[in-house]
Amino acid sequence: MFSARLHPLLKLLKAHSATQLAFYLSLLLLAALLSSRLISLSRITSTIDWRLLVLLGSFMLISEGLKLVGLMDWIAARMAGSGHSLGRLYLLLLASAFILAMLITNDAALFAVISFTIVLSQRVRLNLRRVVIYEIIAVNLGSALTPWGNPQNLFIYHYYHLSPGAFFHQSYPFVVISFVALFLLTSLTLGFGGRRGGLNIVRGVNSEPLVFWRKTAILLIIFVLLVLSVLHVVPVLISAGLLVLYIGITLRDGFRRLDWWLLGTFLLLFPTMSGLGSALAGALGSNLGGPLGVYGAGIGISQLISNVPAAMLLSRATADWRSLFYGVNLGGLGTIVASFANLIGLSLYLKGVKEDNWKGFILESLVWNVLLLMVLSGIFTFFIA
């Protein structure tokens, strides 16, 4: 019965992007909030943080630009090509997902690494389903290191007016411990000991990608300016303006490839989460039962509505950004809707591997996500307490 109801959703994910569906759902939620008068039409524009929205769109756009110039393919190919065995290749694929996510945002890392992994699987016999599941997990966890690594971090950093030192003081232990846990899980379930015979297969696949290095250098300079804008060193209109100008002149296809549905979803999340957050704050008061309450709420609510809207929602009810950071970043593990990255990864997999059993993918993803969530949530409870 459950699978019969879920099948139409999976067909939609194949026909449309997961973010397109998220946009429509956000639009319906906003309409429901307006009809119930939890938010007024006149307040919608005042709830939108335009600076944050410009930063989100800029990081999404520059990620598309870096893909167009070939840099992401070059990084992925270099990391995969250095593998001396199949087990080593698994580790490097996951490490590339983990590292790319903290540098160029989680969504962009997913598009680069999963697409590369699917192409690689046509030449090398991989445990593809499990590798992709672990890559999605790696992206969710690795992106937690930097303020620009994922949307919930960028929101928390901006909303609570954090300093770089305060943010990284909390993010680096989260990422280090998460990587160790993922490494142990992967070594136990995929194995890193592999046979060295895989080396020739990898070299056969890893042809040198074409990279436009001059364009790459200019984009990387603009990327640094965007990071400085996050840190309030460079005005965001200058860095974003330069990006739009350069993409418009040299890489116009970047605008077409930009996920406008995702950007639109972020736009709608401001008024919807403002309305729900005000109601939540009124019902619960100024706190959610202390740090552990905020931490638990971040994990739990993320399982239902995804960690980005969960961060926006709970920020209206707590000043404890530290517990919220741990809760919503860890909350990306678990259900398929716990993170936008989960839905994007599932959508990429369904489009690239049509012969696999989608039910098996979702079930296996849930098993490994919940297992890692249980382990890490227990560990980080000591940090919060």
Q: Name which of 78, 91, 299 is nearest 206 in CA terms.
A: 78
Can you tell me the distance from the alpha carbon of 216 to that of 70, in angstroms, rounded to the nearest whole number? Answer: 8
Question: Per-residue pLDDT tens for 247-291?
Answer: 999 999 999 988 888 888 889 888 887 777 777 666 665 556 789
**In this model, does residue 15 exceed pLDDT 50?**
no
CB atoms within 10 A of CB 373: 20
Output the average pLDDT for the chain: 83
- What is the pLDDT averaged over residues 223-245? 91
Question: Per-residue pLDDT tens for 118-166?
Answer: 767 766 778 889 999 999 999 999 999 999 899 899 999 999 999 999 9
Torsions phi, psi for 286 (to 5 deg): -85, -10
Question: Per-residue pLDDT tens for 48-90?
Answer: 889 888 988 898 898 888 888 987 677 666 655 555 577 788 8
Show the tokens assigned to 219: 């984009």
Question: Per-residue pLDDT tens for 166-200?
Answer: 999 999 999 999 999 999 998 888 865 444 444 33
280-289, 309-318, 351-360: which range is least confident on average? Answer: 280-289
* 314 close to 288: Cβ distance less than 8 angstroms: yes
Can you tell me the distance from the alpha carbon of 83 to that of 269, in angstroms, rounded to the nearest whole number? Answer: 42
